[in-house]
Structure 1
């Protein structure tokens, strides 16, 4: 598995969510903060204004995407003059009229999708994203993203058999296309140029792929440098500059991130988990884990819920009559 896919697979938890909202102006949603939530909102028809609690405003047109990587509270409305609606708390139903998706009187259609991220760990790829990211529509530059959005829109509107399989796959595809676009094009603006540059650098990307492919291997700076095709000193310097951590510090951090997911999702004995992430002894693993997470692995396992399967991957909105 490549680095970006690996990061999302390990950090995601809970059930993915998707919904299609078709509305007639005026309308407004006041969305509360959702800790550990990674949200995506996509305008399909009409335009809207999203306003963060801090006052930052984003104007969304057809095809525009607003990412909310850290679950920040915000207001979305058809117009800045529309009074705020009731606050939508996490897990509650969204207020306001929802009309039939194929009704020509619907002035606005918006797709909303969200993931829960593991509360105990944030990878730098996600952690360094700003609170809100506005990605304007550009079908010519990103045809795959536009195509996946259109398929999700159709799938949520049609409610055909097989949707429980197709919708989660489309959510994953859209998320990956969005991260590709951000890492590839908006690095300076989005504030994580280091990681974007690291993934674009063939030498450093090769070392990262090696770490993610074999986290239990007894890597050294020299052996990772060999994978990267660089001398030990040149590799260490470039890796630290682009990734933001020295090579072995990143290796340790990723090992413990993988261990946290294994502890949450499996019943494997601690000694087995330790070996799977490269520790020769359970004692050494427990000491490193407690130093990083603040809890011994056994206590962490008892307190952190396992990842739920996506048994109910999306919600059907009721139709107003």
Structure 2
């Protein structure tokens, strides 16, 4: 007998499957954000909004290079071209687009002319405009209908800090129609940043700055979720199983990690895990472990009252001698040489 009414079990089953998929997706995004949070926090990321613009044609600004800095430009209104040093073709930054320049390379922002002929150095633009760090940077020609409003900032990192993720990012990350693609919350965040940055309301710049820190993490996440990540040997971050193992390690880096334990955290066999990790990251799992442990040790060594043993234990080494050998192999310096050199630099 054929039922005349739909089976009530079917929609319930569909709802269960949909909910299961949503939970898995949320868990995966949570893992990725935890990884990013740990990495960016340990790299001592500090954000700075350095201007909001009102540029009118023709205009061009040559932004100099900086070490240990990731720059960003968000096109709040209008558009422009961005020419990153070392690359032949400029990219078009349309309204709503975001570009991250993760390695602090010099670049030109311009509209209406060729940058090599008329782009002015940033410090000259700041001087001529009378910009004092507050309000809006006004610059350009006499075509007000062509106004380009950019929100520009940078994130600085500790000079001695490094991580595979940041080092392997491409010369730029261009996220088109960023606010819409990233979701409603990001679209709202960008709108608030556009209204607050350089405004006259109390605390506006601080609000915009803190929100922009979330944007950097979101931008990096968007990149490593894309198909481009594997091309830059960052595929493990977007692999659900491998990223679980990486998160487990980052939560307890001083534990006695082995390939077997990492594979267990990933829910994979030892061989399958090692082969897949090497394929997607172009390095072995234990090379990744050692690299991050040395970054943790560096931070500990730069603390005033931390001993060599403290640094060794923070990196998961039971003896000072084993730690010293690993540290020198990874950095080219002994812990004592690293501490002495950086103490002099800071003083």
- The number of aligned residues is 302
Which structure 1 segments of 5+ residues have no match? 309-321
**2 CA distance for matches of 1:148 and 1:260?**
34
Displacement after TM superposition at 1:164 (Å) = 6.1
**2 CA distance for matches of 1:200 and 1:236?**
16
Q: 1:207 to 1:33 in 2, by over 3 A?
A: same
Which protein has the larger Cα radius of gyration, Structure 1 or Structure 2?
Answer: 2
TM-score, L = length of structure 2: 0.77
C-alpha contact 2:126 2:137 (8 A) present in aligned 1: no
Residue matched to 2:228: 187
Q: 1:14 to 1:44 in 2, by over 3 A?
A: closer
In terms of fraction of residues, the more helix-rich structure is: 2
Residue matched to 2:106: 73
**1 CA distance for matches of 2:39 and 2:201?**
32
C-alpha contact 1:24 1:108 (8 A) present in aligned 2: yes
**2 CA distance for matches of 1:265 and 1:88?**
36
1:14-163 equivalence runs, <5 A: 16-54=48-86, 55-81=88-114, 83-88=117-122, 94-97=126-129, 101=136, 105=144, 107-143=147-183, 144-163=185-204
**2 CA distance for matches of 1:70 and 1:18?**
17
Residue matched to 1:300: 338
**1 CA distance for matches of 2:199 and 2:122?**
26
**1 CA distance for matches of 2:98 and 2:343?**
31
C-alpha contact 2:254 2:313 (8 A) present in aligned 1: yes
TM-score, L = length of structure 1: 0.83
Q: 1:164 to 1:253 in 2, by over 3 A?
A: same
For 1:303, what is the secondary structure of its paired residue? helix
Which structure 2 segments of 5+ residues have no match? 1-32
